[in-house]
């Protein structure tokens, strides 16, 4: 927990202007296959080199992304929710999820963010269903009030400078009929956005491990 707070402090202290470069964007096909969105930051900061810089940036960005969903960090033990973080958990029982232990959990401070635990009781993933927000603001990944693919991606890049996002068409995504996706990795975590075939954001996911 202290590492996450420290990382956020570093982030606030080192916020700098950045330039965004989007390659071959196309909203109708969920952006073309292989689209990579990047942002370059300029200015003074910690003097890190090579692997140290990469690892440091990943930790800062992951802490920021994680916190944008909720104050219940990825990898935290469920038992610590009440004892350490003073969080009240509420289980959502849907489709008999309680029979196999895969139900989602909510906390009062992030009422629309669904948390899921692994077999060891650690926070494994967080996700939101956009319909739960209506037209309201989505804090996760800095999405705000945007719902259209290109605008959502722009906001995420502004929120996480330097992040790389790959978007897949409906045929490539494998997310079900009429659903495209965009996603990327931050350190040892992975985020995924699911869009309807009209390019409207439907779901936002953050996982502990990349490649999911």
Tokens of 77: 């033990």
Q: With b meaning 16 or more CB within 10 Å and e meaning fewer, what string describes 154-189?
A: bbbbebbbbbebbbbbbeebebeeebbbbbbbbbeb
- Per residue in 130-183, pLDDT (tens digit) is 999 998 999 999 999 999 999 999 999 999 999 999 999 999 999 999 999 999
pLDDT in tens, 167-181: 999 999 999 999 999
116 pLDDT above the threshold of 90: yes
Distance CA(78)–CA(72), nearest Å, equals 9
Ordered by start, the domain boundaries in the chain are 2-207
Q: Using pLDDT thresholds of 50, 70 and 90, give the confidence band for residue 55.
A: low
Tally of CA atoms within 13 A in the half-sphere of 24 that contains its CB: 9
pTM of the entire structure?
0.72
* pLDDT above 60: residue 47: no
| Helical ranges in 100-178 per DSSP H | 149-159, 170-173
- Among 39-48, 59-68, 70-79, name the one with the lowest average pLDDT: 39-48
Three-class DSSP category at 193: strand
Q: What is the mean pLDDT of residues 54-65?
A: 83
d(CA 5, CA 202) in angstroms, rounded, equals 30
**Residue 66 confidence (pLDDT) above 90:** yes
Where does residue 126 fall: left (phi above 0), alpha (psi -120 to 50 degrees), or beta otherwise?
beta
Q: What is the mean pLDDT of residues 98-115?
A: 87
Res 17 pLDDT > 80: no
Using CA of residue 166, residue 74, residue 42, residue 146, what is the dihedral sign? positive
d(CA 13, CA 6): 11
Residue 87, pLDDT score: 78
């Amino acid at each position: 927990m202290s590492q996450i707070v420290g990382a956020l402090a570093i982030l606030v202290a080192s916020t700098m202007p950045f330039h965004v470069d989007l390659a071959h964007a196309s909203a109708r096909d969920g952006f073309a296959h292989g689209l990579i969105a990047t942002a370059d930051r300029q200015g003074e900061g910690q003097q890190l080199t090579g692997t140290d810089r990469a690892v440091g940036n990943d930790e800062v960005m992951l802490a920021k992304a994680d916190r944008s969903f909720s104050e219940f960090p990825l990898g935290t033990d469920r038992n610590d929710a009440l004892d350490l973080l003073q969080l009240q958990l509420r289980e959502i029982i849907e489709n008999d999820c309680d029979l196999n232990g895969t139900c989602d959990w909510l906390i009062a401070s992030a009422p629309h963010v669904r948390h899921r635990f692994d077999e060891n009781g650690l926070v494994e993933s967080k996700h939101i269903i956009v319909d739960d927000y209506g037209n309201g603001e989505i804090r996760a990944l800095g999405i705000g009030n945007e719902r259209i693919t290109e605008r959502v991606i722009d906001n995420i890049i502004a929120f996480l400078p330097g992040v790389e996002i790959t978007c897949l068409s409906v045929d490539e995504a494998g997310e079900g009929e009429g659903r495209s996706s965009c996603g990327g990795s931050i350190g040892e975590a992975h985020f995924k956005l699911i869009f309807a075939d009209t390019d409207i954001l439907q779901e936002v996911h953050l996982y502990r491990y990349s490649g999911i």
